[in-house]
Chains A and B, each alone.
Chain A
Amino acid sequence: MANRPTPKDQVTKRYWNPYVAGVSLGGVLFLAFLLTGSGLGASGGIARLVVQVVKVVAPSTVDRNPYFAPIGGGFANPLNNHIVWMVAGVLLGGFVSGVISGRSRVEICRGPRVRPAQRLVLAFIGGAFMGWGAAMARGCTSGQALSGGAVLSLGSWVFMMMIFAAGYALAYPFRRFWL
């Protein structure tokens, strides 16, 4: 890579070493436990945004639904929770990191055999599975696997094993997506 940071020629920096990144992330997670008593999270914030939208469109649906009601039923404001700020922080941190490393550009990341339009559809379908699963499991890879795993929650470890089990089981049939 030519190391000349000019406006037209962005430099793509190397990724951090994964162990350094992991130990740093563990330090951030530990700080979250120290200061707030709970770990990291992502899907909880997205869920609250979803409930806010549903609440605007159809408030009675939120009030009567076993999943939506605890988040935003009645006078509760779904966005009044620190997990929403967490999501804002993650977006900001990802953005800053992408800009200073020259990785912030409009593109569609995809496997070599996948066409851009196909990739968008696949990403949406995969996201829908993830969203459904995260709501079911009361947390995603950040809130359950990472944070729950660090405090050795039994359910979180079962959850983590299941993610890897399903991923590896389907890796071969879906190999054309990525290889």
Chain B
Amino acid sequence: MFPLHVTGIADVLVTIVIGFWFGFILEQAGFGDCRNLAAQFYLSDMRVLKVMFSAIVTAMLLVFAGSAIGWIDFEQIFVPPTYLAASVAGGLALGIGFIIGGYCPGTSLVSSATLKLDGLAFLAGVAAGIFLFGLTSPYVKEFWTVTGAMGRVTIFEWLGLDAGPIVLAVFLMAVGAFAGAEWAEKRFPWAKPPVPGVANSPVVLRAFVTAGLVLALVAVVIGQPDAERKIALQKARLDAAIQSRRVFIDPAELLDLMYNNQVDRILLDVRSESDYNLFHLKDAIHATIEEIDRFWRPRLTAEQVVVVMSNDERDAIEAWKHLAVSRNINAYILAGGVNRWCDVYFAGNLNVPGPEFGSQGDEHFRYAEAFIKLRQCPTGAVPVGLNIPGTPGTDIDVSRPDQKSVTLRQFTPKIRLLKAVKAPGGGCGG
């Protein structure tokens, strides 16, 4: 299951090798010479469009076809977040810079590496421009970070479609653009490159288009996997984790975690809304499976420890699977659920079984009656507004008992912090 997210020295080596080929190909494509780049805007040599779009389309087809057949988890691929205003302003500035200076940051690196003095001058300009933006950033901060900020959003999500049709449309659009580029080069012959390029080979082009069409159809026909299919694809791994009980944590371990401010922890309560409002653990957030798929899974990171709970274990296991399909999420299940938590911290029964023992309950909240009794307003008393808790269900000590006042309970610790992965940051913004 990709991406691998290599870290440490492997990351450095992989990145240098990838950068090497990136620079090598840019140079071989003729992008070390600004005349070849600027010719794009005079329609006499369209190599910029050809190289850029064929690279974009190639990577796009491979990523989405790979994601459709379940080899790649697209949720773990870095998608630059969308800030519309900044994209428009930045894009226009890049276009202006392109026509005046003739390079872009990547190509100016290649140009400098091949001893072109104008490439070096451009590179110095890029550094100056970045510094200038830094100086002015306090004044454009709102425009830069707030205006049109949409987070991680792809074109197909924005249109409410599956990736397939958009992948196919972009591919066909690119093929059309290539045909237009070939026509334009014949029509506008005024600035030919100083060094000729290798002519198109019809055989190779046909092979590229055919392969592209196959990949696009894979993406369209199979479609991107939904959570259910991802769970089915990883059934063996998920079931092994459940069977071995290594993702179930004891109530006492959860209590330790709740007092451990070194760890970024997220408690997700997947019970019914009414059970949740009656009683829930302190800072537990109510979530449905649908919310986990739509909201939580894309946002959680490997640095966070997530604990899912239901009344017993059945629903929590189901919800846990929806998180654990992403290898980037460190998720656990509260063994025995909220019922066992209340056995220990509400009924004071310290002899309940440890996390190795599951609970076969049918998700009925056994302590509902007791909590309803606790909350009843004595007859004749007028409830005082100030006593109404901010969120129902957390005004009782049981939701996070003081560790000094409860008898310590022995448990086998299960939580292992995942090694912090590289903070997601791709491309130039990284």
Partner-B contacts on A (CB < 8 A): 12-47, 49-51, 54, 65-68, 81-83, 85-98, 101, 103-111, 116, 119-171, 174-175, 177-179
Contact = CB atoms under 8 A, between A and B. Distances in A.
B125 A174 contact: no
A160 B430 CA distance: 18
B25 interface: yes
B5 to A, nearest CB: 5
Given A34-B4, A38-B430, A153-B82, A104 B114 contact: yes
A117 to B, nearest CB: 10
A125 to B, nearest CB: 6
B130 A28 contact: no
Nearest to B110: A94
Contacts of B103: 123, 126-127, 130
B58 interface: yes
Given A130-B98, A152-B170, A155-B87, A39 B121 contact: no
A129 B197 CA distance: 30
Nearest to A91: B113
A66 B141 contact: yes
Nearest to A157: B155
B59 A131 contact: no
A12 B32 CA distance: 13
Contact of A151 (B57, B77, B108, B158): B77
A23 B208 contact: yes
Contact of A89 (B20, B84, B201): B20
Interface in B337-393: none
Contacts, number: 630
A141 B51 CA distance: 12
Interface in B174-202: 178, 190-191, 193, 195-201
B289 interface: no
A128 B97 contact: yes
B95 A166 contact: yes
Given A15-B30, A15-B193, A157-B155, 18 more contacts: A22-B51, A35-B3, A85-B15, A86-B22, A89-B15, A89-B16, A94-B32, A97-B24, A126-B125, A131-B105, A137-B83, A138-B81, A142-B427, A142-B428, A152-B163, A167-B98, A170-B96, A171-B42
Interface of B: 2-6, 11-12, 14-30, 32-36, 38-42, 46-47, 50-60, 62-63, 72, 74, 76-84, 86-119, 121-135, 137-138, 140-141, 144-145, 150, 152-156, 158, 163, 166-167, 170, 178, 190-191, 193, 195-201, 204-205, 208, 422, 424-430
7 contacts: A38-B424, A41-B427, A65-B135, A116-B117, A130-B101, A152-B154, A152-B170
Nearest 10 A-B pairs (CB), nearest first?
A126-B101, A89-B19, A127-B125, A143-B427, A131-B129, A166-B95, A26-B58, A137-B90, A38-B426, A162-B91
B119 A17 contact: no
Contacts of B18: 28, 31-32, 35-36, 40, 86, 89
B20 A92 contact: yes
A164 B50 CA distance: 14
A135 B104 contact: no
A92 B18 CA distance: 11
Contacts of B121: 119-121, 123-124, 127
A14 B14 CA distance: 29
A74 to B, nearest CB: 15
Nearest to B23: A93
Contact of A67 (B81, B137, B191, B427): B137
A93 B22 CA distance: 7
A23 B55 contact: yes
A23 to B, nearest CB: 5
A170 to B, nearest CB: 5
B77 A37 contact: yes
Contacts of B134: 50-51, 54, 65, 67-68, 135
Given A16-B28, A35-B14, A37-B78, A138 B128 contact: no
B349 to A, nearest CB: 46
Among A14, A54, A123: residue with most chain B CB under 10 A? A123
Contacts of A152: 60, 79, 154-156, 163, 166-167, 170
Among B72, B76, B91, B190: residue with most chain A CB under 10 A? B91
